[in-house]
Structure 1
């Protein structure tokens, strides 16, 4: 996509599910790999490459990566060839954090499932309303 055929900020926002303000913030805060292209009138034009990077940033943020670490990862990518091992290490470390978070969420989900099972046994099978039943 050339700057004249890229997506407007509104179109990029719709495509990515982010707000235009968030896209501007990503650019202003140095989270984009390169400057977003501009039309002849100065309006932002997002390329396919920009959208792929925004998707990656969104994935990293959604898995709990702090902005400063997203920026560090972006810096490694911008440096290009020769940083692949560092990028791999960086992503492996983040993956370990995500797996730990998942394990914790699964543990919490197990507790919720257990409680649901108790309610199902009491409420559905015995017709009791535990919220209104007199305490014993």
Structure 2
């Protein structure tokens, strides 16, 4: 598969693919006799992993470290696995924060009309408004 096809497959640009390879987010891609990149299934897996992890907020530095370890050979599996575990833990924290924010937004949407009516009627004022930060305590 050539660069254009690989880029289209994952919704990336060819510039992004070249950047990922240049900085080490993905291992070097084989080239044909004319110097054009030829992406194998292994390369496509790396691109998919990099794109997915980037979308989840994983840093370029962590991806480079992971990819670099894969090229060193030897006993690097535990180090790679630890990188993945660390990233999973970070994503779990972000997911918890996002879920809490989502729940707050849903609560605000669900109670919006009632809150507005209470403000308009004077039943709720700036002094006796609900303390949102205490809602889940």
For Structure 1 versus Structure 2, the TM-score category normalised by the shorter chain is 0.7 to 0.9
Structure 2 residues not aligned, in runs of 5+: 123-137
Shift of 1:116: 1.2
Separation (CA, whole Å) in 2 of partners of 1:101 and 1:19 = 27
Q: Secondary structure at the match of 1:38?
A: coil
Q: So what's the TM-score if we normalise by structure 1? A: 0.78
The yes-or-no answer on 1:56 pairing with 2:45 is: no
Q: So what's the TM-score if we normalise by structure 2? A: 0.78
Structure 1 residues not aligned, in runs of 5+: 1-6, 123-129
The yes-or-no answer on 1:16 pairing with 2:10 is: yes
State the superposition RMSD in angstroms: 2.3
Mark the CA change 1:134 to 1:31 in structure 2 (over 3 Å): closer, same or farther: same
The yes-or-no answer on 1:96 pairing with 2:104 is: no
The answer for the alignment partner of 1:45 in structure 2 is 38
Equivalent pairs counted in the alignment come to 121
Report Cα offsets for 1:75-111 as digits up to 9, x if no partner: 1122234111111111111111000000000000010
